[in-house]
Chain A
Amino acid sequence: MEILILGAVRGALYALIAVGYVLIYSVGGILNLAHGSYYMLGAYMTYIFYTLVFGTGGKLILILSSMLAVLSVGIIAGIVYYVLLRPRIESLTYVLVITLALALFISEIMSLFFGVAGTSVPSFVEGSRPIGGIQVINQQLLLFPVAAVILPGLWFFLKRTKTGQGIDAVAQQRDGAVLMGVNIVKVNLITSGLSACLAALAGTLIAPVSSVVPHMWVYPLIKAFAIAILGGIGSLAGSIIASFILGYAEVSSSFLISDQLTEMVTLFIIVFVLLFKPHGIMGFRLE
């Protein structure tokens, strides 16, 4: 039972992070190594807005500041795309290196301003409740409904609105979309912002229950990559399924074998999937 609930919570968290990562890769061809940093910035920005801008306040202020955090991370990601990535978007090496350098830079800035020990953010919802005989922290439980609202919302946006259809078209066939008059820079800009917003949302939701430290960007990045690989790069549905598989795999390995091995699970999944089934469970061959 514990495994069932904790796995679902973890899966929801990973889904929020990984969907944005897969989206920006399939649309813009950008393998964004700063994705973990957007997650981290989501947590830090919540802290900045809540503690430094508003001082302290009630729950309403907290929710407001987390929304502002998500928005501001989206804007930062847009600027990063427009200024740093756009000029040389075709060069894979350049994109990889500059996003990774950016990730390092952001984490150094955060450790400069807030110290390596990190900070913390109060919970949106206090306390914990028993489910099936175990205590689950409410804040963690909050992840699940949020993911259940956001992910179908994203799907609706991509399939039903005009902008979303443009994004979807670029992901399917870039040249064809350009010929149909889709503005590729605009699409990439929106997608960058959107994918960063999703990561920041995960970050701001998890901030109260995990410590906000400058190195928190590393593991989400590796996990997002593992999920993208497992689900098949370019497949949003595959990435959501893969998030839950990874979530359950980690939780069960930490319960059944050892706590230390949870990180290794992710790494081994990546290696094995890449070596034996490089296109993932729902993926198709990308050329």
Chain B
Amino acid sequence: MTSSKKSAFFIQRESPIALLLIVGGSLFPLVSDNFFYIEVIKTAAIYAIFAMSWDILTGYTHEVNFGFAFFVGGTGYLSGILNTFFSVSPFWAVPVSALAAGIFGIVIGYLTLRLKGPYFAMVTMVFASILFTLSFIYTEITGGEEGISGLETFSDDLITDFFIVWAVMALTYFMLRIYAHSKHGIILKAIRADEDAAKSAGINTSYYKIEAFALSATLGGIGGGIFAHSQMHIGPTMLSGELSIVVVLLTMIGGLGTIVGPLLGAVCLSVLNEYLRVVEEYRLVIYTGVMILLIYLAPDGLINLKFIKNSKRLTYLFFGPRE
């Protein structure tokens, strides 16, 4: 009785537009059987996983992680290697590799999170470039520029694959929302507001930051592993700085520290990106140009725009009832 009440309460607390997007998206394959569109939405969902899991660290603590590709690509490679060389099923390879990414997250977080602001941002970027360079040095394992091809997919059916990706995306969303609303999320917000004050209140701030970093790494890793297996290919582009930048941009445009914002931002912009393939030549120029423009016009993210904040109805629509 109480548990059902609690869960109902929990759903009511969610942002209506995010729920609508998650449910609506999952119904898409029933409406259309155009493989191209399904593929587009699947990619958008994967980018949403990246953006949301990046947001849990940076949005909530303002420690900018510019090396997210380390975890995404690293997990992709690890899972790909496990799959091709040791023929581990993707259902095992992805979680195991993501766990490894989480452990790396703890180690790297322990080493780097005491650095402040720009130092942290750059050193995470450097960790990603170390991995990127390594992928070109150990070509017999990583395949160099070509990457590793022929990874197993989760299932033979594209639509089942889509549902798996979408389910993971929805799970990530709910998990992160619960985490953000829990004591841990509130402590992270306190760290964002004033780390010294949080420390003097007796909070072990580095513990919580490392925890958030590891969580972000694990979830990003799951996204990366799924991406690699659904594309059946993992290459150095997944480790490159561009991927890290795109994740950062998607989250910033959506709205830092909201989880809903990155979800919406990532889905909308990834769909835009695929839509721009009609003008393939100019696609990346237009895409990055639009991103710069959006950040310039709405530096706090689209979801934090004034007119949304000022209207009660829109706030409810985007954020759900504020506690």
Contacts and interface: CB of A to CB of B under 8 A. Distances in A.
B291 A101 contact: yes
Label chain A's interface by main secondary structure: helix
A108 B118 contact: no
A104 B245 contact: yes
Nearest to A228: B122
B285 A94 contact: no
A169 B275 CA distance: 50
A31 interface: yes
Nearest to B121: A96
Interface stretch (A43-51, A120-128, A196-204, A271-279): A271-279
B118 A96 contact: yes
Nearest to B134: A264
Interface in A248-287: 260, 263-264, 267-268, 270-271, 274-275, 278
Interface string A206-237: 00000000000010001001000100000000
Taking residues whose C-beta sits less than 8 angstroms from the other chain, chain A's interface range is 20 to 34
Contacts of A96: 64, 66, 118, 121
A109 B285 contact: yes
A81 B248 CA distance: 21
Interface in A131-186: none
Nearest to A287: B116
Taking residues whose C-beta sits less than 8 angstroms from the other chain, chain B's interface range is 35 or more
B133 interface: yes
A136 B147 CA distance: 37
Contacts of B134: 264
Contact of B126 (A91, A97, A98, A271): A271
A101 B288 contact: yes
A278 B115 contact: yes
Contacts of A101: 245, 249, 288, 291-292, 295
A218 B126 CA distance: 11
B245 A260 contact: no
B241 A112 contact: no
B133 A263 contact: yes
B242 interface: yes
A267 B126 contact: yes
A167 B210 CA distance: 39
Nearest to A274: B123
B118 A31 contact: yes
Given A93-B64, A100-B66, A264-B133, A278 B245 contact: no
B129 interface: yes
B130 A264 contact: yes
Contacts of B292: 84, 98, 101-102, 105
B249 A225 contact: no
Contact of B119 (A218, A267, A278): A278
Contacts of A260: 136-137
A84 B296 contact: yes
B150 interface: no
Contact of A98 (B117, B122, B285, B296): B296
A257 to B, nearest CB: 12
B314 interface: no
A64 interface: no
Contacts of A222: 125-126, 129
Contact of A267 (B133, B248, B282, B299): B133
A282 B252 CA distance: 35
A23 to B, nearest CB: 15
Contacts of B123: 270-271, 274
Contacts of B252: 93, 97
Contacts of A108: 284-285, 288
Contact of A94 (B58, B136, B299): B299
Given A101-B249, A271-B127, A278-B119, 9 more contacts: A88-B299, A93-B252, A97-B64, A97-B249, A108-B288, A112-B284, A222-B125, A260-B136, A270-B126
Interface of B: 58, 62, 64, 66, 111-112, 115, 117-119, 121-123, 125-127, 129-130, 133-134, 136-137, 241-242, 245, 248-249, 252, 256, 281-282, 284-285, 288-289, 291-292, 295-296, 299
29 contacts: A31-B118, A31-B122, A92-B64, A92-B118, A93-B64, A94-B295, A96-B121, A100-B248, A101-B249, A101-B295, A102-B292, A104-B242, A104-B288, A105-B285, A105-B292, A112-B282, A112-B284, A218-B241, A222-B126, A225-B122, A264-B130, A264-B137, A267-B126, A267-B129, A267-B133, A268-B130, A270-B123, A274-B123, A278-B119
Interface of A: 31, 84, 88, 91-94, 96-98, 100-102, 104-105, 108-109, 112, 218, 222, 225, 229, 260, 263-264, 267-268, 270-271, 274-275, 278
User: Considering the complex of A and B, which 7 residue pairs feature the smallest CB-CB distances, nearest first?
Assistant: A105-B288, A108-B284, A31-B118, A267-B130, A108-B285, A270-B126, A101-B292
